C-alpha cells in the first residue's frame, strides 16, 4: 500500500493541509516548507489518489486535443508538448484528428462532451466564427492557429505576418533579389497562407523590392510533394528565383529535393527557408533554415487558458495569446565554407 498524505505530513513535520497545498500547487506555502514537503513526497514515493479527487470535484481529469493531421511532423511535435504540459496540470490528454475538414471539426466539437473531458483544444482549418458561436456544448474550449474573427473563444496563435517577414528579411539581407514564395492559397481568406503571404509582401515593400506574382506559387496542401511541384514550376520560369520562402518546412524539404534533382546548389544558386521549426529540418542535407515556432509555449498557454475556464477563474471575454518564434539560419541559406572554393 502506498504512502498516505498523513505519512508525508508526519515525515515533513507539517500539517496535512500544508501537504495538500503543496500537492495542489497553491502558492501560500513558504519556500522552505515547500522544499521539506517535496523531499518527503519523493522519499515516500507519494502518489495522490486522483480518482477520489476527481470524483469529489466532478471532473474527469482528461482533456482533448484535436489537430488536422497527426502524421504531420509539426502537429506530432506539438501534440507531444501538449502531453507533457497536460501532466503538469494532472491531466490525461486525448488526441484526435479532424483531417482539416468541417465534418471532422464539427464531430469533435459536438461529439466530445463534458462528461468525457473537462476541456477541449482544437486547431481548426474549416470552421467559421458563426459555427463556433452556434456551438451548444459548454465544454471549455481553446482554439489554436489563426484567429476566427469575433469567435467567442480563447485563442493561442503566433504572429504569422511577423514570422514570414522575418524569413523574407533574412533572404533579403543575404543579397537575394528574386525571392519566391511557395504556399499561397488564394481560395482561403484569413488563414495561415494569407498571413504569411502578407508578411512576405511587407518585407519586399520595406526593402523597396518589386512584387512579382509569377514568383508566388500556390499549394493545395502543405506537404513535401507540394513543395517539390512548386519548386519545379519556379525552375521552369524564364528567370528562376535565387531564393525561396516556403510557408512550411515540409514544402521546403520538397523544394530542396527538386533543386537537388535539377542540379542547383543550395544555397549558392538558390537559398531556401521554411516555417515551423520541425526536427526533420535540422537533420536534412543541407540543414533547413526556418522560423521555429515555440511549441512548448503554445501548449503551455493553451492549457493555462483551459485550466482557468475549467476552474471558472477566467474573464468573460475571450483571451488571446501569441507564442514566440525564432529565426534559425542554417545551411540552406548560409553559404557553407569551402576552403578550395574561389567564391561565388
Is 31 domain-assigned? Answer: no
Predicted local distance difference test score (pLDDT) of residue 337: 42
Residues in Cβ contact with 244 at an 8 Å cutoff, skipping those fewer than 6 apart: 179, 180, 181, 182, 231, 234, 252, 255, 270, 271, 272, 273
> What is the rounded CA–CA span in Å between residue 116 and residue 66?
14
Indicate whether 39 pLDDT > 70: yes
Question: By percentage, how much of the chain surpasses pLDDT 90?
Answer: 62
Indicate whether 55 pLDDT > 50: no
Predicted local distance difference test score (pLDDT) of residue 130: 80
Per residue in 188-215, pLDDT tens?
Answer: 766 899 999 999 999 999 999 999 999 9
Range of the domain at 260: 160-292
Is 97 domain-assigned? Answer: yes
With cut-offs at 50, 70 and 90, classify the pLDDT of residue 115.
Answer: low
Predicted local distance difference test score (pLDDT) of residue 6: 86
> What is the rounded CA–CA span in Å between residue 222 and residue 312?
38
Same domain, 168 and 263: yes
Mean pLDDT of 109-124: 80
How many C-beta atoms surround the C-beta of residue 302 within 10 A?
29
The C-alpha cell that represents 294 in the structure block: 515555440
Is 95 domain-assigned? Answer: yes
Indicate whether 186 pLDDT > 60: yes
Same domain, 125 and 168: no
Is 29 domain-assigned? Answer: no
Same domain, 145 and 241: no
Same domain, 275 and 173: yes
Same domain, 152 and 169: no
CA trace torsion 217, 218, 220, 226 (10° rounding): 10
**Of 80-89, 248-257, 271-280, 324-333, minimum mean pLDDT range:** 80-89
Instruction: Tally the domains of the chain.
Output: 2
Q: Across all residues in the chain, what is the average pLDDT?
A: 88
User: Would you list the DSSP string of 268-280?
Assistant: TT-EEEEEE--HH
Amino acid at each position: 500500500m502506498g504512502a498516505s498524505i498523513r505519512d508525508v505530513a508526519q515525515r515533513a513535520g507539517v500539517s496535512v493541509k500544508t501537504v495538500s497545498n503543496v500537492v495542489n500547487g497553491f502558492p501560500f506555502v513558504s519556500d522552505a516548507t515547500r522544499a521539506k514537503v517535496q523531499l518527503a513526497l519523493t522519499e515516500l514515493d507519494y502518489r495522490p489518489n486522483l480518482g477520489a479527487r476527481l470524483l469529489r470535484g466532478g471532473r474527469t481529469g482528461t482533456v482533448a486535443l484535436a489537430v488536422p493531421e497527426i502524421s504531420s511532423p509539426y502537429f506530432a511535435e506539438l501534440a507531444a508538448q501538449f502531453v507533457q504540459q497536460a501532466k503538469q496540470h494532472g491531466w490525461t490528454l486525448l488526441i484526435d484528428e479532424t483531417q482539416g475538414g468541417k465534418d471532422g471539426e464539427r464531430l469533435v466539437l459536438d461529439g466530445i462532451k463534458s462528461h468525457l473531458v473537462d476541456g477541449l483544444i482544437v486547431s481548426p482549418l474549416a470552421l467559421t466564427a458563426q459555427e463556433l458561436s452556434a456551438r451548444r456544448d459548454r465544454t471549455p474550449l481553446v482554439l489554436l492557429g489563426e484567429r476566427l474573427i469575433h469567435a467567442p473563444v480563447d485563442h493561442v496563435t503566433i504572429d504569422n505576418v511577423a514570422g514570414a517577414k522575418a524569413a523574407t528579411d533574412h533572404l533579403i539581407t543575404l543579397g537575394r533579389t528574386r525571392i519566391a514564395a511557395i504556399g499561397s492559397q488564394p481560395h482561403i481568406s484569413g488563414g495561415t497562407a494569407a498571413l504569411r503571404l502578407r508578411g512576405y509582401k511587407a518585407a519586399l515593400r520595406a526593402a523597396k523590392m518589386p512584387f512579382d506574382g509569377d514568383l508566388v506559387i500556390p499549394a493545395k496542401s502543405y506537404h513535401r510533394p507540394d513543395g517539390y511541384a512548386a519548386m519545379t514550376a519556379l525552375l521552369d520560369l524564364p528567370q528562376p528565383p535565387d531564393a525561396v520562402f516556403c510557408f512550411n518546412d515540409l514544402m521546403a524539404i520538397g523544394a530542396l529535393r527538386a533543386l537537388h534533382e535539377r542540379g542547383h546548389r543550395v544555397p549558392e544558386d538558390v537559398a531556401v527557408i521554411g516555417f515551423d521549426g520541425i526536427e526533420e529540418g535540422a537533420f536534412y542535407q543541407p540543414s533547413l533554415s526556418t522560423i521555429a515556432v515555440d511549441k512548448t509555449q503554445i501548449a503551455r498557454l493553451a492549457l493555462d487558458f483551459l485550466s482557468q475556464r475549467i476552474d471558472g477563474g477566467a474573464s468573460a471575454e475571450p483571451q488571446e495569446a501569441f507564442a514566440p518564434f525564432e529565426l534559425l539560419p542554417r545551411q540552406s541559406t548560409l553559404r557553407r565554407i569551402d576552403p578550395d572554393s574561389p567564391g561565388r
